[in-house]
Amino acid sequence: MKFSRLTAGTMTWGAWGKKLKTKEMSGLMAHCIENGITTFDHADIYGGYTTEEEFGHAFKDSKIKREDVQLISKCGIQYITDKRKHAVKHYDLSKDYIIWSVEESLKLLQTDYLDLILLHRPSPLMHPDEIAEAVLDLTRSGKIKDFGVSNFTPSQMDLIGNKVPIAVNQIEFSLTEHTAMHDGTLDKMISKDILPMAWSPLGHVFREDTEQTRRIHKQLGELMDKYNATEDQILLAWTLKHPANIHPVIGTTTPKRITNAVKALALNLELEDWFLILVACQGHKVP
C-alpha cells in the first residue's frame, strides 16, 4: 500500500489542540512509526496556517528518513486568520492557487514533495480543466506523487475524475456518520478504484450522551469480551471491515490511544456482529 492503513491526523497537534512543542511532536511521530503508522495527514489551514511549519521543524529535528513516511496535505480553503485577512471564508481551486499552496506546504514541511495533495472542499466555482492543469504541472515537477479530493460527492468525483485521475477521497465516515454507504460515495470509490480515507472515524460515540450513543455503548459492551477489545477498537474494526478498504485518519495525540488503535487492525468482526452494531446505531433493523 502507498499509505499505512491507519493515518495520523495532525489537526490537533498544534494551535488547534494540544500545542505540542517540537520535541513532543517529533516524539509522537516516532511513536506512530514504531506502531506502523507512517502516513501523516495535514491541511494548510491547520492551526490557522501554523501547524505545517511546526511539524516541519519537528520532522527535521526527528531525523526520520523522508522515504519512511508519507506526507499528505490539503488545500483550497481560504480561512480567516491573522495570517490571511480575508473578508470571508471561501474556496480557491484555481490553477495558480493550487500550485502556490503546494509549494508553500513543501516549504513549511521542509520536504521536496508531497505523497498526496487533496482539494480540501469542493468549490461551486471549480473547473476540472484548471484543476487538471495544476495537477499535471505539480506531477511533472515532482512536487506531488498523487492527487485526490476531500469531502467530494459522487458527481463531483466524476467531474474532476474525468479530467485527472483521483487516487483518494477523504470523507467523514464512522458508525454514526455512515451516509457514504448509502448515497453512492463508497460505491463510486470502489468502482473507480479510489481509496477512501475517513476523518472522524469514531464519530460522536464518545463525545455525546444520547439515546443513540447509549444503545451503541450497550452493544459494544456486549462484544468486548468476545473480541478481547475496547470500544474504540471495535468501532475502528467496524469501519475497517467495509469492502471499500477505508483508511481511518485518527486524530489522537495520546501515545497509548495510538497503540490501542493499531490493535484494531487485527480484529475481524463476524458478519452478524457488524450488523448488530449498525442496528444499535440506527435504532431499527435493516430494511
Catalytic residue among 46, 49, 91, 227: 46
Give whole-number Cα distances, 192 to 32, 158, 184, 239, in Å: 30, 9, 12, 20
Give whole-number Cα distances, 30 to 8, 106, 228, in Å: 12, 21, 27
Q: Catalytic residue at 49?
A: no
* b/e sequence 27-61, b meaning 16+ C-beta within 10 Å: bbbebbbebebbbbbbbbbbbebbbbbbbbbbbee
Q: HSE of 158 in the Cβ direction (CA atoms, 13 Å)?
A: 8
Q: What is the dihedral of CA 248, 252, 258, 264, to 10 degrees?
A: -40
Q: Which three cell numbers stand for residue 252?
A: 489522537
Instruction: Please give the helix or strand (H or E) that residue 77 lies within, else none.
Output: strand 77-78
**d(Cα 152, Cα 115) in Å, to the nearest integer?**
20
Q: Quote helix, strand, coil % in the chain, to nearest 5.
A: 45, 15, 40
Q: Find out whether 15 and 45 touch, Cβ atoms under 8 Å.
A: no
**d(Cα 78, Cα 138) in Å, to the nearest integer?**
20
For 230, other C-beta atoms within 10 Å of its C-beta total 16
Of 7, 16, 76, 26, give the one whose Cα is nearest residue 50.
16
Catalytic residue numbers, as ranges: 46
